[in-house]
């Protein structure tokens, strides 16, 4: 149900550690924001496009991943074409497409575990301030992934129960029971976590 | 933060993700299809309160960032967080916090039902619509280069759907308050 967007591979981007890769993405995106020259932006689109294309994704899968944002960007391109000058509209569109392709490349070449390591490091200063515990982040992520399929099944069950009683299936009717029945588990889950000393308390 | 707070936030994040799996519905009188997922901002704030609600959404953004397709329509990955509509996604975190903050002040147990519903609805409108739009729209204008006034006009198309979501969230929040109250209450 929730498959990671990571793909296996041995390309340069795959081998680069997650930290530097994310720093590179941030730096390039920020730099592109200040570039106004069309040739440079066209070049960056070509480079990021080649990069994204060389990751070993099938053409269909590669397109499917970026389609929602791609549509948004193209929609804004059309609107901008009417509202601002064609050069400005083209500049923005090329920039947004480059950033999209680079970001999608980083996402495709970085495992969840590598991301979590970087995040834990990023959160360490906050941990020193006593604001949160970095280990709690991975615990929470694990909990979410564990419960999504279960809540989805519960939603289907509620739908069935409504149909069986001849009631129309309406979100406004299902939300209450869905949320109450899910959150009622919180106490026993929290007790199970504490009983095992997972948070080290 | 207690373990229970952490678990409640994580369970709510999971609920928000499931809401994103439900196919968007088109209502005849609104030009854009509405997804159940952005209603989560209002639900999180009114049901589990400001801190846990914001935590639930922070967790959602984190899952998007590490490359899981958890947003409605199977969107996910860093591309979404760097696209034109990124402001709305980050705005959800602050929106959920504001909804919670207001709900914690407006609503308490033992009030008449109408009073509670009015409190939830107002909190959802301010935090879930005003705050989210106030963060999302300037970011669209900044990233996509579209003039701000036009972005505002375009966003109006989403307003009826969002007001409807606030109404549905109000019903759900009141149902949970009656059945299993979790909202911290402040004077």
Q: Specify the pLDDT at position A132.
A: 77
Task: Identify the pLDDT of residue A142.
Answer: 87
- Domain membership of residue B144 (yes or no) is yes
Per the structure block, which two tokens stand in for A29? 């995106």
Would you say residue B187 lies in a domain? no
- The yes-or-no verdict on residue B84 having pLDDT over 90 is no
Cα B71 to Cα A200: distance, rounded to the nearest angstrom? 32
Q: What is the pLDDT of residue A80?
A: 87
ipTM: 0.90
Asked whether residue B184 is assigned to any structural domain, the reply reads no
Partners of B12 on chain A (C-beta within 8 Å) are 183
- What confidence score (pLDDT) does residue B2 get? 87
Supply the mean pLDDT for chain B. Answer: 89
- For residue B185, being part of any structural domain is answered with no
- The pLDDT tens digits for B85-111 are 899 999 999 999 999 999 999 988 888
Q: How far B124 CA lies from chain A's nearest CA (Å)?
A: 15
Describe the crossing of helices B132-144 and B148-155 by its angle, rounded to 10 degrees: 130
**Which of A7-11, A17-21, B93-97, B166-170 shows the lowest mean pLDDT across its residues?**
A7-11
Residue in B67, B150, B175 nearest the CB of A6: B67
B187: closest CA of chain A, how far (Å): 25
A99 → closest Cβ in B82, B145, B150: B82
Contact A144 B17 (CB under 8 A): yes
- Which CATH number covers residue B56? 1.10.1760.20
Q: Quick check: A6 and A116 in contact, CB under 8 A?
A: no
Q: 């929470």: which residue's tokens? A: A140
Cross-chain residue pair A115–B65, CB shorter than 8 Å: yes
- Look up the domain containing B69 and give its range: 3-179
Q: In angstroms, rounded to a whole number, what is the distance separating the alpha carbons of residues B94 and B41?
A: 9
Q: Which of A27, A99, A176 is best to mutate for the B interface (most B CBs within 10 A)?
A: A176
Q: What is the pLDDT of residues A68-91, one digit of tens each?
A: 889 888 988 888 888 888 888 899
In a domain, residue B64? The reply is: yes
Alpha-carbon dihedral angle through residues A184, A185, A187, A189, given to the nearest 10 degrees: -170
The pLDDT score that the predictor gives to residue B33 is: 65
- Per-residue pLDDT at B187 exceeds 70: no
Which chain A residues contact residue B75 at CB under 8 A? 68-69
Question: In Å, how far is A20's CA from the nearest CA of chain B?
Answer: 15
Cα separation values, A190 from A115, A177, B177, Å: 26, 21, 21
Residues A13 and A20: their CA atoms lie apart, in Å, by 10
**For residue B186, is it within any domain?**
no
Classify residue B93: in a domain, yes or no: yes
Number of domains in chain B: 1
Q: Identify the CA nearest to B94 among candidates B142, B129, B140.
A: B129
Cβ–Cβ below 8 Å for B47 and A183: yes
For every residue of chain B, DSSP letters joined together read --HHHHHHHHHHHHHHHHHHHSPPB--TTSSS-B-SGGGHHHHHHHHH-HHHHHHHHHHHHHHHHTT---BGGGB-SHHHHTSTTHHHHHHHHHHHHHHHHHHHHH--TTS-HHHHHHHHHHHIIIIIIIIHHHHHHHHHHHHH---HHHHHHHHGGGHHHHHHHHHHHHHHHHHHHHHS-------
Q: Are B115 and B79 in contact (CB under 8 A)?
A: no
Half-sphere exposure of A29 (CA within 13 A, CB side): 22
Q: Are the CB atoms for A158 and A174 separated by under 8 Å? A: yes
pLDDT of residue A120: 84
B83: tokens are 């696209």
Encode pLDDT of A18-71 as tens digits.
888 888 888 888 898 888 899 999 999 999 999 998 888 888 888 888 888 898
Size of interface A-B (CB pairs under 8 A): 192
Ramachandran sector of residue A71 (left: φ over 0; alpha: ψ -120 to 50; beta: rest): alpha
Flag if B8 and A140 touch (Cβ within 8 Å). no
pLDDT over 90, % of chain B:
58
How does pLDDT run across B131-150, given as a tens digit for each residue?
A: 999 999 999 999 888 889 99
- Is A73–B84 a contact, with Cβ atoms under 8 angstroms apart? yes
Check pLDDT > 80 for residue A143.
Answer: yes
CB contact under 8 A, B176 and A183: yes
Of B15, B59, B76, the CB nearest to A140: B59
* Residue numbers in A near B14 (CB within 8 A): 143-144, 147-148, 150-151, 182
The minimal CB distance from B67 to the residues A88, A96, A110 is found for A110
Distance in Å, alpha carbon of A40 to nearest chain B alpha carbon: 18
Among B74, B76, B45, which residue's Cα sits nearest to residue B60? B76
Q: Do B6 and A110 touch (CB under 8 A)?
A: no
Residue B76 has a pLDDT of: 83
pLDDT for res A122: 85
Other C-beta atoms closer than 10 Å to the C-beta of A87 total 10
Q: Using the predicted structure, report yes or no on whether residue A95 has a pLDDT greater than 80.
A: yes
């Amino acid at each position: 149900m929730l498959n990671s967007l990571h793909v296996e591979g041995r390309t340069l981007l795959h081998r680069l550690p997650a930290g530097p890769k994310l720093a590179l993405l941030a730096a390039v995106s920020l730099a592109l924001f200040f570039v106004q020259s069309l040739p440079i932006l066209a070049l960056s689109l070509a480079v990021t496009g080649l990069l994204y294309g060389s990751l070993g994704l099938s053409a269909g899968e590669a397109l499917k991943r970026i389609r929602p944002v791609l549509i948004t960007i193209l929609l804004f391109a059309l609107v901008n074409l009417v509202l601002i000058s064609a050069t400005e509209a083209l500049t923005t569109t090329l920039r947004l497409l480059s950033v999209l392709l680079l970001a999608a490349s980083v996402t495709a070449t970085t495992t969840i575990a590598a991301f979590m390591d970087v995040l834990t490091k990023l959160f360490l200063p906050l941990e020193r301030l006593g604001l949160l515990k970095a280990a709690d982040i991975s615990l929470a992520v694990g909990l979410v992934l564990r419960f999504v399929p279960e809540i989805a099944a519960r939603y289907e069950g509620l739908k069935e129960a409504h149909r069986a009683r001849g009631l129309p299936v309406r979100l406004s009717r299902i939300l209450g029971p869905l949320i109450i029945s899910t959150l009622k588990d919180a106490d026993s889950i929290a007790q199970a976590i504490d009983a095992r000393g997972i948070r080290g308390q | 933060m207690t373990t229970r707070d952490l678990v409640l936030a994580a369970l709510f994040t999971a609920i928000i993700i499931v809401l994103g799996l439900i196919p968007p519905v088109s209502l005849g009188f609104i030009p854009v299809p509405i997804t159940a997922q952005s209603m989560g901002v209002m639900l999180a704030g009114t049901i589990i309160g400001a801190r846990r609600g914001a935590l639930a959404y922070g967790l959602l953004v984190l899952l998007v960032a590490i490359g899981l397709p958890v947003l409605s329509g199977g969107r996910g990955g860093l591309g979404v967080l760097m696209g034109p509509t990124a402001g709305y996604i980050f705005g959800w975190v602050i929106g959920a916090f504001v909804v919670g903050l207001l709900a914690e002040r407006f609503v308490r147990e033992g009030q008449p039902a109408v009073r509670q519903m009015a409190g939830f609805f107002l909190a959802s409108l301010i935090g879930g619509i005003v705050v989210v739009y106030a963060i999302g729209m300037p970011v669209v204008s900044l990233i996509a280069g579209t003039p701000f006034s036009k972005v505002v006009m375009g966003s109006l198309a989403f307003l009826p759907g969002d007001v409807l979501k606030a109404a549905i969230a109000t019903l759900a929040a009141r149902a949970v308050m009656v059945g299993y109250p979790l909202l911290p209450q402040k004077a």
